[in-house]
Chains A and B, each alone.
Chain A
Amino acid sequence: MTIQSETSTVQTATGKAKTMVLNMGPQHPSTHGVLRILLELDGENVVKAIPDMGYLHTGIEKSCEDKTYSQAITLTDRIDYLNPLGNNLAYCMAVEKLLGIEVPKRAQYIRVLMVELQRISSHLVWLGTHAIDLGAMSVFLYCFREREEILKIFEFVAGQRMMTSYIRIGGLALEPPTGYLQRVEKFVKMMPGRIDEYEELLTGNRIWMGRTKGVGYISADDAIALSMTGPTLRAAGVAYDNRKVFPYSSYEEFDFDVPTRTDSDCFARYMVRVAEMRESLKIIRQAMKKIPPEGPVRTEAPGIVPPEREKMKTEMEALIYHFKIFTEGFSPPVGEAFAAVESPRGELGVFVASDGSPKPLRVHFRAPSFINLQALPKLIEGKLIADVIACIGTIDIVLGEVDR
């Protein structure tokens, strides 16, 4: 991959000037992983930018084809490693759609609760790392302090801090332990004040505004044409949020706003994400009220959803189903299904095609980071090299998801 030779001279105020090609990444800390960008520079100005990725390509979509439908859930955790529960949810929704099974209300509400906690934790990592890229060290430490609280809740509920695989086909992996809502309650009480603290440090900060205001502008039409979704699109004034437009997992019962801005610069994206954290807290509070204290967390679907432990000790059929699910899996009808959720980064879609065998014919992830990254050259070409860092930050890419 090279930069075309005819672009190697540019017109400047003083006449023709030679440009320089700079290789940024893949080990550069502010590229948030292993993103490599070839930058053609005229002094400090970016003339042309070519993103190059694939350093983290692990062939997850191919591996899914070699696993049964249930086994593939563990792989979905590892795509967007800041949003494993959201990935689980999108994949399980696609398979549930293919099977035509419904999930009990209680499980749906717990899914919403967990996914919204995940959204806050993902935005916290984004805010912290973005701030550290732009020179605000302390925000990073505060954000990770609060994220730790969320990970502790995940560990308590699912047994794992990060790669939870908690959401399963037909419901949840296990009944949440007693006292989990009290922990969430404690977190929800503490968090609004902490978000105020971040805003005090950043929102009115002159250095922060100088680095982000007016930087990385993209018009709403361009953003839609480039298939951008999520906070980057909402910061351009388009209120497209899957939770509102195509509600799933009972989101239509929740009362929340979709924050939008119109400036469409890095500062607007920051404001949208901070507002989203507050909206997520609102949803979590409602979910805590909605979750019934008792009830099934898995749907009754013999041969698809593993039976309860107690049943296996008394019922022969349950034991047989359990054995069959974990040895050969289950076979959905021939067909295709696409399910989309609103991940912290945008529309996360999962496309599953079945040929009637226990292994998927094809699993495809519509990775929002990958598609949003496509707009990066548009954001940075003609701007300063320091703005490249700010723009990569506000697109909020996760390289595990870009490369899959």
Chain B
Amino acid sequence: MAENSNTNVVVERLRGWSPNAISEVIEFRGETTLVVPRNALRDVAERCRGDKELRFNLLSDATCVDRYPLEPRFELNYHLVSIPRSDRLRLQVRLSANDPVVDSLVPVWPGANWLEREIFDLFGIRFTGHPDLRRILLPDDWEGHPLRKDFPVEGYRDTASIATRYTRNRT
């Protein structure tokens, strides 16, 4: 990911714009992670995309990690790519278990649409301002969010109720 020299440029640029934009910088195995406060996420993302020295124009990926039972429980990771500068960056936002809500990045990168729907589907995180927040991989009437750590790997084995549910809904 980002070289050290590039990292400093990115961090300085963002801190120069707003001193509270980044709460922590993590360097691990040559990758840079900027931990961003939840309420600053959309502004920082907008800045990363729009700033003429940063130009992270491609949102490569967005995903979530469930650290249950630790707090803050959820970590959202956004992987950004700057095609003109050949650089990568990860933005991280931490969310607590009782309030897993964060601003949607669809207004910044339209490509965030399905990625956020997937996180909503599998982790149950709400994105405010998302135009179409529906389940994407699982059926609409699925109960629970399977990638949460308190969801068993083998699922709930109550096959009888699943069978009735699906026959009832097939009209």
Considering the complex, which residues of chain B in the window 127-171 have a beta carbon less than 8 Å from any beta carbon of chain A?
A: 134-140, 146-147, 151, 153
Q: Does A149 contact B (CB under 8 A)?
A: no
Q: Does A403 contact B (CB under 8 A)?
A: yes
Complex contacts, A340 vs chain B, CB 8 Å? 60
Give Cα A381 to B88, complex, Å: 33
**Given A225-B111, A340-B60, are A1 and B140 also a contact pair (CB < 8 Å)?**
yes
B65 contacts A362, C-beta separation under 8 Å: yes
Give Cα A57 to B121, complex, Å: 12
User: Which residue of the partner chain, among B77, B88, B140, contacts A336 with CB atoms under 8 Å?
Assistant: B77
**Given A226-B111, A349-B60, are A338 and B146 also a contact pair (CB < 8 Å)?**
no
B111 contacts A338, C-beta separation under 8 Å: no
From A161-169, A238-246, A312-320, the one touching the partner chain is: A238-246
A224 contacts B146, C-beta separation under 8 Å: no
Q: Does B44 contact A (CB under 8 A)?
A: no
Q: Does A98 contact B (CB under 8 A)?
A: yes
The range of chain A's interface size is 35 or more
B79 contacts A351, C-beta separation under 8 Å: yes
Considering the complex, which residues of chain A in the window 339-362 have a beta carbon less than 8 Å from any beta carbon of chain B?
A: 340, 347, 349, 351, 353, 355, 361-362
Q: Does A370 contact B (CB under 8 A)?
A: yes
Shortest Cβ gap from B38 to chain A (Å): 19
Tell me the dominant secondary structure on chain A's binding face: mixed
Give Cα A364 to B90, complex, Å: 14
A100 contacts B88, C-beta separation under 8 Å: no
B63 contacts A364, C-beta separation under 8 Å: yes
**Given A1-B134, A54-B138, are A97 and B29 also a contact pair (CB < 8 Å)?**
yes
**What is B's interface to A at a CB cutoff of 8 Å?**
1, 28-31, 33, 57-61, 63-67, 77, 79, 81, 83, 86, 88, 90, 109-115, 118, 122, 134-140, 146-147, 151, 153
19 additional A-B residue pairs with CB within 8 Å, beyond A1-B134, A97-B30: A1-B140, A57-B137, A61-B122, A62-B147, A62-B153, A65-B153, A97-B29, A224-B58, A225-B111, A227-B115, A240-B58, A245-B86, A336-B28, A336-B31, A336-B65, A347-B81, A351-B61, A362-B147, A374-B111
**What is A's interface to B at a CB cutoff of 8 Å?**
1, 53-54, 57, 59, 61-63, 65-66, 97-98, 100, 224-229, 238, 240, 245-246, 335-338, 340, 347, 349, 351, 353, 355, 361-362, 364, 366, 370-371, 373-374, 403-404
Q: Which 9 A-B pairs have the closest CB atoms?
A: A227-B111, A366-B61, A54-B137, A364-B63, A57-B137, A66-B153, A226-B111, A362-B65, A335-B28
Cβ contacts A to B, 19 pairs, < 8 Å: A54-B138, A100-B29, A225-B110, A225-B111, A227-B60, A227-B112, A240-B58, A240-B83, A246-B88, A336-B65, A338-B61, A347-B81, A351-B77, A362-B63, A362-B147, A364-B63, A366-B60, A366-B79, A404-B137
